[in-house]
A and B are shown apart, each in its own frame.
Chain A
């Protein structure tokens, strides 16, 4: 029973355009939501997070939106760059610093 779902295994976007990655969750106890980026043969690296008391968090080209009523979050990357090509994982936890539950990831390909 997947608590965090990323229903799109892959996404292709042209350089300069917006990339939108989506994530749904089922556990209403989740309090922290994070996005991680992963390159081949490397560990996941933290990208951006949002707590349940907010509905938006922005960091440069990256913005995460949280819709608690829909149990949905999304990551927007604007503008997309070829270096953004990677696997993006959505993750959630009930308490900051404790175990993260991950989605299966979305592979983003940004073409120049």
Chain B
């Protein structure tokens, strides 16, 4: 089974440019999350969706960041314009709610997109 697929794996861009990161969640999962990892802040939640609807975007740093989930199999995180402080590894994760005692609460992560803004 394919896991969470993210693209691109690496992106180097110049300040002011638009950056679009893409994510394909695991088929059948109804939750999708975007996280950002930096040395200073660790893994921080940016936004998450349930059934394609944004539930909590309070972690999105500012209006330069936007995320969409047009369908159950695709999501984008866009930064426009990008700044050097946006340099980080961005992770997408997905999960499903089964209910019951066997639910571990696990999120399944992609391999991440490393963004460098010069």
Interface residues of A (CB under 8 A from B): 32, 34, 36, 41-46, 49, 51, 89, 93, 95-105
- In the complex formed, the residue of A with least CB distance to B31 is A97
B56 close to A99 (CB less than 8 A): yes
**Shortest CB–CB separation between residue A52 and chain B, in angstroms?**
11
A96 close to B105 (CB less than 8 A): yes
Total interface residues on B, CB under 8 Å, equals 28
Partner of A102, one of B42, B56, B95: B42
Given contacts A43-B109, A105-B42, 4 further A-B contacts (CB under 8 A): A34-B104, A43-B4, A43-B112, A46-B107
Q: Within the assembled complex, what's the spacing in Å between the Cα atoms of A46 and B93?
A: 12
A43 close to B110 (CB less than 8 A): yes
Interface residues of B (CB under 8 A from A): 4, 31, 33, 35, 41-45, 48, 56, 91, 93, 95-98, 101, 103-112
A97 close to B42 (CB less than 8 A): no
9 pairs, CB–CB < 8 Å, chain A vs chain B: A32-B104, A43-B109, A44-B109, A89-B42, A93-B105, A97-B97, A97-B98, A98-B97, A104-B43
